[in-house]
Amino acid sequence: MDFGIKGRKAIVCASSKGLGRACAEALAEEGVDLVITARGADALNKTADEIRAKYGVSVTAIAGDITTEEGRAEVLEACPTPDILVNNAGGPPPGDFRDWSIDDWMKAVNANMLTAIELIRLTVDHMEAQKFGRIVNITSAAVKAPIDILGLSNGARAGLTGFVAGISRKTVANNVTINGLLPGPFDTDRLAATMKPAAEASGKSIEEVAAERAKMNPAGRFGRPEEFGAACAFLCSDKAGFITGQNILLDGGAFPGTL
Ligand code: NAP
């Protein structure tokens, strides 16, 4: 299938590795020119070189913190009028809500809710004016089924999801869609980090905990980042103009509900 987005411009946030990188690669495979971001310049530049070499698209690497105003300004200076925006940032730490201060909550809400809303605000009018835009927010399966130790994530991402539910029904009239992609367990560094408390509590290694958890998933494994990237590229395609305001779970069937 031709996704019909060759030559389009995408900003893919937080994309030197993991799910963001997978989305960037899948878009590059469709011929999309990229602006990619991460805080660590070395890994980011390496990723940019690899994607450029493999897919022959233009890749601009902007090192900075996407959760800050300066970080976002630099990205938008490099690409003021993207056709595609993939919102992503690191997830908040696990823990017990009794230990979290207002400052901890502000950081999570800023990173996993307000940063995405701000980037949407600064790009959506142009997308609507040109009658094409695709926005994908990387959130979490926790939006549909909360994970007890990830209360900061459950709360902040639910806020973004609620906001998007409203505006995505307006922007679609101008062929601008906004959807959430909800990762269940994908094999990335972040997943390993979230297993650390369980490993420490049980005296097992992170690898042992990971193997047990992978076996418990109906698919018998964790997701592969490239599977996530492919779903993102489809949502960003010109074929997906009738899909908006949706929250698509990629979890190997772990969520047990009928709908
Ligand atoms: P990852 O493998 O740790 O990769 C995170 C990427 O984001 C890195 O490139 C990192 O680079 C960049 N990044 C982090 N904070 C940033 C910031 N403030 N500004 C710019 N770039 C930043 O994580 P992942 O597994 O891909 O997860 C991506 C998102 O999905 C996270 O929000 C995570 O909580 C969520 N999620 C993941 C899973 C899973 O199973 N993997 C499940 C549910 C939800 P730098 O560190 O250099 O900035």
Residue 19 CA, closest ligand 1 atom number? 26
Taking the whole predicted model, whether its pTM rises above 0.95 is answered as yes
pLDDT at 60: 98
Inform me whether the pLDDT recorded for 55 exceeds 90: yes
Is the beta carbon of 17 within 6 A of some atom in ligand 1? yes
How many A from CA of 130 to the centre of ligand 1? 30
Pocket test for ligand 1, best of 11, 39, 228 (most atoms within 8 A of CB): 39
pLDDT at 194: 82
pLDDT at 157: 98
How many A from CA of 37 to the centre of ligand 1? 11
How many A from CA of 9 to the centre of ligand 1? 22
**Average confidence score pLDDT of the chain:** 97
Is the beta carbon of 132 within 6 A of some atom in ligand 1? no
How many A from CA of 14 to the centre of ligand 1? 6
Inform me whether the pLDDT recorded for 197 exceeds 90: no
Inform me whether the pLDDT recorded for 88 exceeds 90: yes
pLDDT at 11: 99
Tell which residue, 39, 27, 32, has the closest CA to residue 6. 32
206-219 pLDDT per residue, tens = 999 999 999 999 99
Q: What is the DSSP string of the chain?
A: ---S-TT-EEEESS-SSHHHHHHHHHHHHTT-EEEEEES-HHHHHHHHHHHHHHH---EEEEES-TTSHHHHHHHHHH-SS-SEEEE--PPPPP--GGG--HHHHHHHHIIIIIHHHHHHHHHHHHHHHHT-EEEEEE--GGGTS--GGGHHHHHHHHHHHHHHHHHHHHHGGGTEEEEEEEE-SBSSHHHHHHTHHHHHHHT--HHHHHHHHHHHSTTSSPBPHHHHHHHHHHHTSGGGTT--S-EEEESTT-S----
90-149 pLDDT per residue, tens = 999 999 999 999 999 999 999 999 999 999 999 999 999 999 999 999 999 999 999 999
User: What is the band of 196 on the pLDDT scale with cuts at 50, 70, 90?
Assistant: confident
Residue 66 CA, closest ligand 1 atom number? 19
Of 92-96, 123-127, 195-199, 240-244, the least confident? 195-199
Q: Which two tokens stand for residue 29?
A: 């495979």
Is the beta carbon of 22 within 6 A of some atom in ligand 1? no
pLDDT at 5: 98
User: What is the band of 14 on the pLDDT scale with cuts at 50, 70, 90?
Assistant: very high
Tell which residue, 14, 33, 10, 20, has the closest CA to residue 84. 10
- Positive or negative: CA dihedral 228, 231, 235, 236: positive
Inform me whether the pLDDT recorded for 193 exceeds 90: no
How many A from CA of 86 to the centre of ligand 1? 12
How many A from CA of 5 to the centre of ligand 1? 25
